[in-house]
C-alpha cells in the first residue's frame, strides 16, 4: 500500500522541540527568538523552580520550516514532538488517549512579539468519546466534562477544519431552545451531550470524515493549524501595522491541562505581588474554590481576597506567598500571575509584569529603588510618561456607582463636576458663585471667558485638537469633546442623549481622561500635591534627559504653573489669547474695522499698555528663563461676530422694520464679508497680518520691549525671544525682523536701557521646512509649530477632519491620530529636514517644537532622536514631557529598541 | 601746501578706459563683463561702422577698484580717463569747457545685466555759466539751453551732491506760480534762467560750495557718483531679487551729446527693421524734425512715418535704410534703434532687439528661416511661448477708441463682447440667443452652466487661480477676475464703477489678456486659424522638445480642441465637472443627502450611465492616446445650496410663517450644517470621499471600465489611467486601488473583454511628496497637482490670498505669483523630491504635472529640467507648453543660462 501524503519531506537537522517540566526546562527566558514570548516565559518559570504544568514548545524554526516545506512538518520534527509527548506523559503520570488517566493538553501559539488575539488556541485536546468518562469521573461533574468536549469540538472544528463558527452556534442555540434553557448554564449534562452529538455530525458532514478520535492525530492537526494561523489575514494586517517581520514565524506551546474545579480541594485565582492600584507593598489577589478561569470572568460567583485562601489551604497559601516573593525578586518588577490548585496541588500558569495605575507605577518604582531592587534609572523607565497625567489632575472616583450617559473624546484630562450652562456669558456670570460645565456644539475664540470660568467643557463636535480641546489643555481644564450623542437645543436651554434630557442648572460630571459624561455629581479624588516622592522621582528623570522642556503659556498664572511643573522657559506665548479678554475685544474690533491706518493706530495705542502689562507679568514669572512670544497669528475675523449670525440678524431686523439698527448691522456685515475667507487656516493670518498691517507688529514689539526694560529695571532677568509666525518665505521673515529691530532700537533709546533678545520664527509650513537653510540665515531660532505643519503636510484641517481620522484609524490607514502623535514618516521628515537645513546654514541654531505634540511621549522621543533642543507643551504636561525625554535618552543609551512616533 | 585728499591711492596696472569713435572701438560686443551691456553695445555698433557719437567706457574693473580703494578712483585710472577725454575732444572737434565749441557729454551707468532705472544717469554734463551761451547760440533756442542747464543742475545736485529732489521741485513750482505758468512749457527762457539762479543758490547752501564750474571736476564727481549708485538700496534689492552678484560692479559710459533740435536740418526718431506689430518685412518707424527725444514722449507734436524723411533729407534717409539693413544682418534679428540727426548728420544712439507682438514674432522667425538668416532651432527660440496665446484667442482691436472703465486681473485671455447678466441661470437662458457677459462677485461650482453659456466672465473678487479663472481657462473662455473696482448690486441688477452704472442688458467688452473692462461693444480681431506657417513653426518646436504635453479636459469638446492643438493625451479629466450639469445635480444632491448607503447607491446608479457616456466620448476623441481620469475630488457641500443662503431663507420663511416649507429648508440646512467645514480645502474631499463612501469610487470605476470596454469594441484604442486624488498616505492609495481593481475585474468578466489600464495618484500634498517612495511602491504613475501642492506648501488658499500675493509682489517678497509660476525653491523642491523618491522605488515611473503651471513657460522649463515625462495644461495652452518645452530643451543643449521658474 502506498504511503499517504507522499510529498517531499526533508528532515532538517537540529533541535526543534524544547521540553519543560519537573523543575527543569531545555530553554530559558532569553530564547524568545526561538521559543516565542510565551514559550520562553514558561521555560524561565520552570527553571526558577516554580510548579508549572509540564509541556513542550515547538520552536519558531519549525514553523519557518513548515512554510518552506509546502505547509508540512517534516518527519524529523514530528518525531521530536512524539518524543516530547512521551516525556510529558512520563512527567504527568498521564497518557494521551488513556481511558483511565487521559492526558489533556492545551495548544497555544506564541510568537516573539505579542500579537494579542491574532492567532489561535485550542484547549482540552486529547478529549474523545473514550476519554470523556474519565474526565467526568475525575471532576465528579459530568456536565463539566460534556461542556469541555463540546467546546473542544467547536474550537477544533473551527480552527483546524475550517467549519464556520456560526454553524456551531446555530446548533447550540437550537438545543437551548428545545430544552427551554434561558442561559448557557441552564443546559444540563444531557443537553450538552446532545450538543456534542450534533457537533460531531456537523464535522462529519462538512469535513467528510468523523471527528478524529486519535489524540496524536488531533495534536498534529492542531499544531499545523497554529502554524497556518501565522498567515491569517488579521495577523498579517497586525504585523504590517506594527512592523513585525513576516519571516519570524510562531512557536507552538503544548502543555498539560490542569483543572481548578475538581472539588473543594481545587481552586483557581490571580494575584499581584503588590497592589496594582495604589502600589502598596502587599500580597494582593483573589481566588475561587472549585472553579475554573471562566467562572471568574463570567462573574456569577464572587471571588474571595487571596488572604482568605490561608484558612482552607494553609500550605498552598504559604507556598503561593513564597512564590510571589520569588517572582518579584526574579523579575525585579511587580508581577501579575495566574494559578490553579488541582487536588491540593499548586500550578503556576503564567506570570507577567503587572499593569498598574500611574499612582502605583510611581510608588512601586520609588519603593523598589529604596529597597535596592532597581536603580533610579530603571525606576524612571518603569513609569510610562502618559501615566503621570493621572497624578496631575483630579480623577473620578470609580468605586462609586456612576450613571454614564455618553462618551466623547478624552480631550483634556481631569474630572469636573458642575451645573450645566449653554453660553459663555452664562458660564462667566454663574461660574463666579458655583462650579459650571459649559456645554457647546463647538467653542469659538469668543467663548474664552466662559471657558475660563467653567470647571469643565463639553462639546458635541470637534476632535482632539478642536478649539475647545486645545484651549482646555492649555488651561489644564477638563474637557470632553466631540461627544456626538449629545444633541444640544441651545434655544430651549437643554441637551438630550437618547431619552435623557439635561436642563440648564442640572448637575453633570465629566471625566476628561476617559471621555465619560456622567449624570449628577460624581465623587472625585484630588491629586496629591507634588509629593516628596514625586519630586525625587522627577529629579531622577531630569538627570537622564538631554532634551529641554518648556511650556506653552499665555498668562502669568499659567507661567507660574509651568514653572512649578519644571518648565525651563516658555516656548510659546500666544499673544492673541490676550486679545480675547472682555475689556480688550472692543479695541481689537475697532482695530480690525478701522478703514485707515490712523484709526488702526489709535485702537492699537489703547491695546499697547494692556499687552505691556501681560508681558511684564510673564517676564516676572519666568525670571532668568527664556520667554518666546509669538506675534499675532489668527485670522482677524476670529475677533468679529460670525458672518452667519449677522446674516440672520439682518434678516430679523428687516422683518422687524428697524431701519437704523439694520443699517448699522449691514455695515458691520459688509466688513465681515470683506474679511470672510473660504479657508481661513490658509488665509490672512500669521506674519501676513504683520506685513500688511506693520503697525500691529510695531505695537506688539513695543509692548514686549517696554515691558522687558521696565521689568529688567526691577532686577528681573528677562530673556525675550520674539517669534514671527507662519513664515513661508525668508523675505517675509526679514521684513518683520527689521521692523522688530527698529522698534527695539527706539524703545532702548527712549528707556536708555538695553536687553538682549532673539528674533526667530515658527516653522509651520512645508515651504518653511524645505527652505529652512534660507530662513536660518536670517532667523536666530526655530520653533516647529507641528499643529499647523501637520495640517498643511496632510492637508487636514484639524477642525474638520476628526471624523475622517477616526474612520482612518478604524480602517488601519492611520495607527495614530497625527494631531496627537507626531507623524514621523511625513511631518517628522519635514521637521528633521528643516532642522538639518537650518543648522547647516546656522550651526548651533536653537530648535524646538511647540505644537500639541510637545506633550506626547512618542513625539517627545522622536524630537530627542532627531536632536532638537527642546519641546514645549501645556503647563500641565510638563512632567510628562520631562519623563518622556528621560525615557528617550535612557533607551538611546541602552540601545533599546526604538519606539517610533506614529507613522499615521 | 599739502595735497588735498591724501588718502591711499594705489595705481593699479592695466587698461581701465575703452574709447569708441571714428569707426573704431577698443572694445567689442563680447566684452559685457568689462564694459557692461551698454558699453559693449556702443563698441559693437562703432566697430560695425555705424555713425555712433564718440565716447568712452570706464570699465567695471575700475568700479571694483573704486570700492576696494575706499571709494576713490586711483590716479592712474583718472589719468586714463583724462586721456580718453582728450581723444574725445579730438574726435568731436569740441572741447570740454570751451566757450565757443563746448563739448557736452552724457554720463551713464551700465552693468553686465540690465538693471532698468536702478542706477543714475546725468545728461548735458559740461554745461556751466560760460558754456551756456554757446549752446543757446548753436540751438538758436535760449529757452532750450536754459532748460538743459536747469535739468543738469538738478540731476547733478541730486545724484552727485545728494540734495533732495523735492527741494529743486519746490523752487520750480514757485517760479511757475510767480510767472503764472500753467504747464512747464509755458516757462520762458527768462523764467528758466531764474530757476537756474535759485538752483545754484540752493546748491551753494546745501553743499557749502558753489555749483562746480570746472567740467573736468563735474565729470570726476559724476563718475564717482555713478560708481556709488551701484550700492544704493534699490539697486541692492534689485540684485538680491534677481540673484545678480554684488561683486560685478558697473561701468560708466561717457558719450558726446548730440541734439536733434538745432533747426530744420536736425531731427530725432526711432525705427524698426521690420513691422513690430505684424512682422511684415518693411522699414518702419517715425521721426520729428527739430526735436529731441523728450518731445516724442511728451506727445505734444505728432511724429511722422519714417518714409516721409526721404523728402526733406534724402541722403540721410538712404543712409538710415542702409544702416537698418546692416543692423538686421549683423544681429540676425529685428532691431529697434534710436537716432538723432544733428545739423544734417546722422547719429545712431542705440540699437537693440525689437519688442514685437506674438503675431510679429512668429512671422519674423518664420520669414528669417525662409530667408536663410537663421536656422529653425533659432526661430523656435525667437518666439516667447507666452506670446503664442495672442495667436490662439480673439483680441480687442486697440486701434479703435475704447472706454475702459476698470481693470482686473487678466485671468483667461481672449476678448468677449456681450450683454451684462448677473446670475448663471440668466446667462444660461439668455446666452442661447445672444452673447452675454456673466458678472459675479465670485463664481461657485453651481455657476458652471452659466459660465458655459456666457461669452466672457467678470468677477469682482478672486485671484488668478480663483474658481472663475481656473474654469474659464479650462474652457478657453475670456475672463477678467478680481476686478475690485466693480461694485455689484445683484438685487438691483446693476454694477457700478465710480460714477458709471452698468445695468443688466447693457453691452460691455472684456479683454482677458490685459484685464480691461470696456463700456460698450469693442471691435475684436479673430485669430487666423492655425495657419500653414504656424503649423510648420510648431513642427520645428516639436522636433526639439523632450517633454510630453497633455491637456486638462473634462468633456469631449475640450478633448477635441486639445487634440487639434497637439495634445498627446489627457493629463487630467476632472470628473466632478461632469457632476455639475443641470440634469445631474439633483441626483448628485440626492446622493449626498442620502442617510443610508442603500439610498446613496440608488442615486449613484442614476449617475452611472451618464458618466459612462462622458467617458465614451472622451475615449473616442482621444483614440490611441492616454486619458487620465481623476476620481471625485471636491468637498461634497460644493454641490449643495450654500449655508448662508439657507440661513437667510429659513429666517424669511419664519417671518412669513410658512411652516411646511420652513421645516423642509430646516432639514436641508441641518444636513448642510453637518457637511459644513471651516476649511473645506483641507476637509472631506479627494480620496477621503472614496474611502468613506466606497460606493462612489465603485460607481466611477464601473463607468470608466464599462465605457472603455464598449468603445474598445468599436475599434477605438483606449488607454485609461485612473487617478486617485489627494493621497497623503500610501494606505489610502492601496485601499482605493484594490477597489478599482475589483470593479475592473467584475466589469471585464461581465463584458468578457479586457482593456489595459493604470492606477496612479495625484501628488498634491506635501506628505505625499516626502513619502513618494512608499506611494510609488503601489502607484503606477504620478501626476503632481501643483495647484493644491502650492496651497498646502505655502499655506495659501488660492481663493483667499489674491490680495496678499499682490501685496507681496509689491513689497518684493514674491517675484511671481506662485500660483502662476511654479515656486522652484519650495514647491518645486517637493516636486523634485517626490519624483526622485518615486523613481527610486519604481524605476521608470511616469511622472507629470497637471496644475495650472503646466501652461506656464517658466514652470514648463523647470519640469523639463527635473526630468518629468509630461506637463498637462488647458487645451488652449497646449501650443504654449509645446513651445516652452522646446525652448527648455534647446537652452539645455546650448548650455544657455537657465531661466529658473519663480522663486516667489
- What is chain A's percent helix, strand, coil content, to nearest 5? 50, 15, 35
Q: What is the DSSP letter of A2?
A: P
Please tell me which of the candidates B677, B807, B826 has its beta carbon nearest to residue A800.
B677
pLDDT for A842 equals: 97
Query: Which residues in chain B have their CB less than 8 angstroms from residue A813's CB?
Result: 691, 729, 731-732, 735
Residue B807: closest C-alpha in chain A: A692
pLDDT for B244 equals: 82
C-beta of residue B229 within 8 angstroms of C-beta of residue B115: no
Could you tell me which of A361, A432, A358 has the C-alpha nearest to residue A395? A358
Q: How far does B30 lie from chain A, in Å, by closest CA?
A: 35
Q: What is the DSSP letter of A637?
A: G
Contact B648 A643 (CB under 8 A): no
Q: How far does A626 lie from chain B, in Å, by closest CA?
A: 29
Could you tell me which of A67, A130, A61 has the C-alpha nearest to residue A95? A130
For testing the chain B interface, which of A652, A678, A688, A788 should be mutated: the one with the most B CBs within 10 Å? A678
Could you tell me which of B450, B439, B507 has the C-alpha nearest to residue B479? B439
Q: How far does B819 lie from chain A, in Å, by closest CA?
A: 14
User: How many other β-carbons are positioned within 10 Å of the β-carbon of residue B25?
Assistant: 27
| Residue B830 buriedness (CB in 10 A; 0-12 / 13-18 / 19+) | buried
Range with the largest mean pLDDT of A68-82, A753-767, B233-247: A753-767
User: Crossing angle of helices A75-92/A215-229, nearest 10°?
Assistant: 120
Contact A731 B771 (CB under 8 A): no
Averaged pLDDT score across all residues of chain A: 90
Contact A795 B682 (CB under 8 A): yes
pLDDT for A7 equals: 43
Q: Lowest mean pLDDT: which of A173-187, A608-622, B316-330, B542-556?
A: A173-187
Residues of B noted as catalytic = 467, 850
pLDDT for B299 equals: 54
Angstrom CA distances, A495 to A438, A478, A486, A562, B436, stand at 12, 19, 7, 36, 52
Angstrom CA distances, A579 to A613, A691, A721, B592, stand at 13, 19, 20, 40
Please tell me which of the candidates A652, A771, A813 has its beta carbon nearest to residue B651.
A652
C-beta of residue B53 within 8 angstroms of C-beta of residue B88: no
Angle at A268 between CA A264 and CA A274, to 5 degrees: 130
Contacts 24+ apart (CB under 8 A), A290-297: A290/A260, A290/A261, A290/A262, A290/A263, A290/A264, A290/A266, A291/A260, A291/A261, A291/A267, A292/A259, A292/A260, A292/A261, A292/A268, A292/A340, A293/A260, A293/A268, A293/A338, A293/A340, A295/A261, A295/A268, A296/A268, A296/A269, A296/A270
Task: Return the residue matching grid coordinates 577725454.
Answer: B85
pLDDT bin (cut points 50, 70, 90) of residue A615 is very high
pLDDT for B896 equals: 59
User: How many other β-carbons are positioned within 10 Å of the β-carbon of residue A129?
Assistant: 11
Query: Which residues in chain B have their CB less than 8 angstroms from residue A732's CB?
Result: 808, 813
Query: Which residues in chain B have their CB less than 8 angstroms from residue A681's CB?
Result: 678-679, 682, 795, 797
C-beta of residue B606 within 8 angstroms of C-beta of residue B579: no
Contact A801 B682 (CB under 8 A): yes
Contact B765 A684 (CB under 8 A): no
Q: Give dist(CA B793, CA B828) in Å, integer.
A: 10
Q: Give dist(CA B472, CA B15) in Å, integer.
A: 59
| Residue A319 buriedness (CB in 10 A; 0-12 / 13-18 / 19+) | middle
pLDDT for B465 equals: 64
User: How many other β-carbons are positioned within 10 Å of the β-carbon of residue A890?
Assistant: 17
Span A125-143, pLDDT tens digits: 999 999 999 989 888 889 8
Residue environment code for A390-409, b if the CB has 16+ CB neighbours within 10 A, otherwise e = bbbbbbbeeeeebeebbebb
Please tell me which of the candidates B677, B691, B728 has its beta carbon nearest to residue A794.
B728
Contact B826 A770 (CB under 8 A): yes
Please name every residue paired with A341 in a beta bridge, in sequence order, or none if there are none. Answer: A267, A346
Instruction: Count Cβ–Cβ pairs < 8 Å, chain A vs chain B.
Output: 189
Contact B731 A812 (CB under 8 A): yes
What size, in residues, is chain B?
Answer: 904
Q: How far does B572 lie from chain A, in Å, by closest CA?
A: 21
Residues of A noted as catalytic = 467, 850
Query: Which residues in chain A have their CB less than 8 angstroms from residue B801's CB?
Result: 682-684, 688
Q: Give dist(CA A592, CA A585) in Å, integer.
A: 10
Continuous H helices in A681-825: 687-692, 694-713, 730-751, 766-770, 772-776, 786-794, 802-810
Span A1-57, pLDDT tens digits: 444 444 444 567 789 999 999 889 999 999 999 999 899 999 999 999 999 999 999
DSSP string of B124-172?
Answer: EETB-HHHHHHHHHHHT-HHHHHHHHHHHHHHHHHHTT---HHHHHHHH
pLDDT for B904 equals: 43
Decide if pLDDT at A650 tops 70: yes
Cell numbers describing residue B213 = 564750474
Q: For each successive 10 residues of chain B (904 residues), what is the average pLDDT?
A: 45 88 92 93 93 97 93 93 96 93 93 77 92 88 90 93 92 92 85 96 94 96 94 81 83 94 88 89 89 64 86 94 94 92 93 85 95 96 88 83 92 90 91 91 82 92 77 82 89 91 95 92 75 89 96 92 93 88 84 87 94 95 97 88 83 85 86 85 95 96 98 96 98 97 97 96 98 97 97 92 87 90 97 98 96 92 97 92 96 67 42
Q: Lowest mean pLDDT: which of A369-373, A619-623, A824-828, B646-650?
A: B646-650
Which residues neighbour A667 within 8 Å (Cβ) at sequence distance 6 or greater?
Answer: none
Please tell me which of the candidates B797, B808, B823 has its beta carbon nearest to residue A683.
B797
Contact A678 B735 (CB under 8 A): no
Could you tell me which of B195, B160, B200 has the C-alpha nearest to residue B179? B195
Q: Give dist(CA B219, CA B650) in Å, integer.
A: 79
Continuous H helices in B48-102: 60-68, 75-92
Query: Which residues in chain A have their CB less than 8 angstroms from residue B825's CB?
Result: 771, 774
pLDDT bin (cut points 50, 70, 90) of residue A356 is confident
Could you tell me which of A20, A15, A27, A32 has the C-alpha nearest to residue A77? A15
Span A552-566, pLDDT tens digits: 999 898 899 899 899
Q: How far does A735 lie from chain B, in Å, by closest CA?
A: 9
pLDDT for B50 equals: 93
Q: How far does B823 lie from chain A, in Å, by closest CA?
A: 10
Query: Which residues in chain B have their CB less than 8 angstroms from residue A796's CB?
Result: 682, 728
Contact A735 B795 (CB under 8 A): no
pLDDT for B296 equals: 61
Span A256-290, pLDDT tens digits: 999 988 888 999 998 999 988 789 999 988 898 88
pLDDT for B579 equals: 83
Task: Return the residue matching grid coordinates 583724462.
Answer: B82
Q: Identify which has the larger pLDDT, A201 or A470.
A: A201
User: How many other β-carbons are positioned within 10 Å of the β-carbon of residue A33?
Assistant: 13
What size, in residues, is chain A?
Answer: 904
pLDDT bin (cut points 50, 70, 90) of residue A232 is confident
Q: Give dist(CA A309, CA A295) in Å, integer.
A: 17
C-beta of residue B541 within 8 angstroms of C-beta of residue B878: no
Task: Return the residue matching grid coordinates 473514550.
Answer: A130
pLDDT for A353 equals: 87
Q: Lowest mean pLDDT: which of A43-57, A405-419, A758-772, B683-697?
A: A405-419
Q: Is the ipTM of this complex over 0.90?
A: no
Rg (chain B; Cα; Å): 33
pLDDT for B8 equals: 44
Query: Which residues in chain B have their CB less than 8 angstroms from residue A833's CB?
Result: 770
Query: Which residues in chain A have their CB less than 8 angstroms from residue B641's CB?
Result: none
pLDDT for A397 equals: 87
C-beta of residue B472 within 8 angstroms of C-beta of residue B459: no
How would you list the strands of the sheet with A494-497, edge to edge?
A487-489, A494-497, A500-503
Q: Give dist(CA B687, CA B632) in Å, integer.
A: 8
Q: Give dist(CA A261, CA B764) in Å, integer.
A: 64
Angle at A601 between CA A597 and CA A606, to 5 degrees: 155
Rg (chain A; Cα; Å): 33
What would the mean pLDDT of A652-660 be, rounded to a whole number? 85
Decide if pLDDT at A901 tops 50: no
Classified as helix, coil or strand, A37 is helix
Q: Give dist(CA A494, CA A427) in Å, integer.
A: 15
pLDDT for B364 equals: 96
Q: What is the DSSP letter of B21?
A: E
The pairing of strands B335-342 and B267-272 is antiparallel
- What is chain B's percent helix, strand, coil content, to nearest 5? 50, 15, 35
Helix (H) or strand (E) holding A674: helix A659-675
Classified as helix, coil or strand, B442 is coil
Q: Identify which has the larger pLDDT, A387 or A446.
A: A387
The pairing of strands A570-574 and A626-630 is parallel
Q: Give dist(CA A896, CA A379) in Å, integer.
A: 16
Which residues neighbour B487 within 8 Å (Cβ) at sequence distance 6 or greater?
Answer: B460, B495, B496, B497
User: How many other β-carbons are positioned within 10 Å of the β-carbon of residue B237?
Assistant: 12
Amino acid at each position: 500500500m502506498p504511503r499517504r501524503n507522499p510529498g517531499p519531506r526533508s528532515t532538517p537537522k537540529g533541535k526543534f522541540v524544547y521540553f519543560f517540566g519537573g523543575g527543569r526546562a531545555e530553554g530559558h527566558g532569553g530564547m524568545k527568538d526561538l521559543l516565542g514570548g510565551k514559550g520562553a516565559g514558561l521555560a524561565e518559570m520552570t527553571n526558577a523552580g516554580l510548579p508549572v504544568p509540564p509541556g513542550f514548545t515547538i520552536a519558531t524554526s519549525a514553523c519557518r520550516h513548515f512554510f518552506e516545506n509546502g505547509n508540512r512538518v517534516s518527519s524529523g520534527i514530528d518525531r521530536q514532538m512524539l518524543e516530547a509527548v512521551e516525556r510529558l506523559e512520563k512527567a504527568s503520570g498521564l497518557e494521551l488517549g488513556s481511558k483511565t488517566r487521559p492526558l489533556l493538553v492545551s495548544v497555544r501559539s506564541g510568537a516573539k512579539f505579542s500579537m494579542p488575539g491574532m492567532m489561535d488556541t485550542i484547549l482540552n485536546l486529547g478529549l474523545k468519546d473514550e476519554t470523556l468518562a474519565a474526565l467526568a469521573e475525575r471532576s465528579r461533574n459530568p456536565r463539566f466534562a460534556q461542556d469541555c468536549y463540546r467546546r473542544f469540538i467547536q474550537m477544533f472544528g473551527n480552527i483546524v477544519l475550517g467549519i464556520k463558527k456560526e454553524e456551531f452556534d446555530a446548533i447550540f442555540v437550537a438545543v437551548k431552545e428545545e430544552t427551554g434553557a434561558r442561559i448557557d448554564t441552564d443546559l444540563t449534562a444531557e443537553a450538552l451531550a446532545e450538543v456534542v452529538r450534533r457537533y460531531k455530525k456537523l464535522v462529519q458532514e462538512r469535513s467528510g470524515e468523523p471527528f478524529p478520535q486519535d489524540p496524536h492525530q488531533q495534536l498534529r492537526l492542531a499544531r499545523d493549524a497554529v502554524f497556518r494561523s501565522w498567515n491569517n489575514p488579521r495577523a498579517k494586517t497586525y504585523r504590517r501595522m506594527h512592523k513585525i517581520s513576516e519571516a519570524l514565524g510562531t512557536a507552538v506551546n503544548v502543555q498539560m491541562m490542569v483543572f481548578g474545579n475538581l472539588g473543594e480541594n481545587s481552586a483557581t485565582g490571580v494575584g499581584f505581588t503588590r497592589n496594582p492600584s495604589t502600589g502598596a507593598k502587599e500580597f494582593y489577589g483573589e481566588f475561587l474554590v472549585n472553579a475554573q478561569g471562566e467562572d471568574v470572568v463570567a462573574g456569577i460567583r464572587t471571588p474571595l481576597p487571596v488572604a482568605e485562601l490561608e484558612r482552607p489551604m494553609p500550605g498552598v497559601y504559604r507556598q503561593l506567598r513564597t512564590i510571589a516573593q520569588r517572582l518579584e525578586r526574579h523579575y525585579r518588577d511587580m508581577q501579575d500571575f495566574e494559578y490553579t490548585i488541582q487536588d491540593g496541588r499548586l500550578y503556576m500558569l503564567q506570570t507577567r509584569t503587572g499593569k498598574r495605575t500611574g499612582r502605583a507605577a510611581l510608588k512601586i518604582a520609588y519603593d523598589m529603588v529604596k529597597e535596592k531592587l532597581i536603580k533610579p534609572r530603571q525606576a524612571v523607565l518603569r513609569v510610562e510618561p502618559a501615566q503621570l497625567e493621572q497624578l496631575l489632575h483630579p480623577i473620578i472616583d470609580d468605586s462609586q456607582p456612576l450613571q454614564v450617559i455618553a462618551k466623547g473624546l478624552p480631550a483634556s484630562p481631569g474630572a469636573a463636576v458642575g451645573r450645566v450652562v449653554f453660553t459663555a456669558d452664562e458660564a462667566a456670570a454663574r461660574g463666579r458663585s458655583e462650579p459650571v460645565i459649559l456645554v457647546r456644539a463647538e467653542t469659538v475664540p469668543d467663548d474664552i471667558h466662559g471657558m475660563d470660568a467653567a470647571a469643565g467643557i463639553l462639546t458635541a463636535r470637534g476632535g482632539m485638537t478642536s478649539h475647545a480641546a486645545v484651549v482646555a489643555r492649555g488651561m489644564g481644564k477638563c474637557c470632553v469633546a466631540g461627544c456626538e450623542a449629545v444633541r444640544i437645543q441651545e434655544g430651549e436651554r437643554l441637551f438630550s442623549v437618547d431619552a435623557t434630557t439635561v436642563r440648564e442648572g442640572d448637575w453633570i460630571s465629566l471625566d476628561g481622561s476617559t471621555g465619560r459624561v456622567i449624570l449628577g455629581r460624581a465623587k472625585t479624588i484630588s491629586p496629591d500635591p507634588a509629593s516628596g516622592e514625586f519630586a525625587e522621582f522627577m529629579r531622577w528623570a531630569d538627570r537622564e534627559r538631554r532634551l529641554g522642556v518648556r511650556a506653552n503659556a499665555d498668562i502669568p498664572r499659567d507661567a507660574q504653573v509651568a514653572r512649578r511643573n519644571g518648565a525651563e522657559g516658555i516656548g510659546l506665548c500666544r499673544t492673541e489669547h490676550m486679545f480675547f479678554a472682555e475689556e480688550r475685544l472692543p479695541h481689537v474690533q475697532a482695530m480690525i474695522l478701522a478703514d485707515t491706518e490712523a484709526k488702526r493706530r489709535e485702537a492699537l495705542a489703547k491695546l499697547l499698555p494692556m499687552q505691556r502689562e501681560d508681558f511684564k507679568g510673564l517676564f516676572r514669572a519666568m525670571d532668568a528663563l527664556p520667554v518666546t512670544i509669538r506675534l499675532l497669528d489668527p485670522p482677524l475675523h476670529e475677533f468679529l461676530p460670525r458672518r452667519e449670525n449677522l446674516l440672520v440678524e439682518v434678516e430679523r431686523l428687516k422683518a422687524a422694520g428697524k431701519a437704523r439698527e439694520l443699517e448699522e448691522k449691514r455695515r458691520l456685515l459688509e466688513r465681515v464679508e470683506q474679511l470672510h475667507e473660504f479657508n481661513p487656516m490658509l488665509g490672512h493670518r500669521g506674519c501676513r497680518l504683520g506685513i500688511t498691517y506693520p503697525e500691529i507688529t510695531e505695537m506688539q514689539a513695543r509692548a514686549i520691549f517696554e515691558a522687558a526694560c521696565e521689568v529688567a529695571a526691577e532686577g528681573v532677568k528677562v530673556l525675550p525671544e520674539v517669534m514671527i509666525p507662519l513664515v513661508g518665505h525668508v523675505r517675509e521673515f526679514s521684513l518683520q525682523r527689521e521692523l522688530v529691530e527698529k522698534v527695539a532700537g527706539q524703545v532702548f533709546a527712549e528707556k536708555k536701557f538695553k536687553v538682549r533678545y532673539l528674533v526667530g520664527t515658527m516653522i509651520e509650513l512645508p515651504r518653511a521646512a524645505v527652505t529652512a537653510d534660507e530662513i536660518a540665515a536670517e532667523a536666530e531660532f526655530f520653533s516647529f509649530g507641528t499643529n499647523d505643519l501637520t495640517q498643511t503636510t496632510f492637508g487636514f484641517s484639524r477642525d474638520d477632519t476628526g471624523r475622517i481620522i477616526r474612520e482612518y484609524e478604524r480602517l488601519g490607514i492611520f495607527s495614530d491620530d497625527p494631531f496627537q502623535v507626531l507623524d514621523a514618516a511625513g511631518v517628522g521628515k519635514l521637521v528633521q529636514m528643516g532642522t538639518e537645513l537650518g543648522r547647516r546654514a546656522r550651526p548651533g541654531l536653537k530648535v524646538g517644537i511647540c505644537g500639541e505634540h510637545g506633550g506626547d511621549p512618542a513625539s517627545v522621543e522622536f524630537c530627542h532622536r532627531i536632536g532638537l533642543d527642546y519641546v514645549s507643551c501645556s503647563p500641565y504636561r510638563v512632567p510628562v514631557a520631562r519623563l518622556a525625554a528621560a525615557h528617550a535618552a535612557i533607551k538611546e543609551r541602552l540601545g533599546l529598541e526604538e519606539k517610533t512616533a506614529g507613522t499615521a
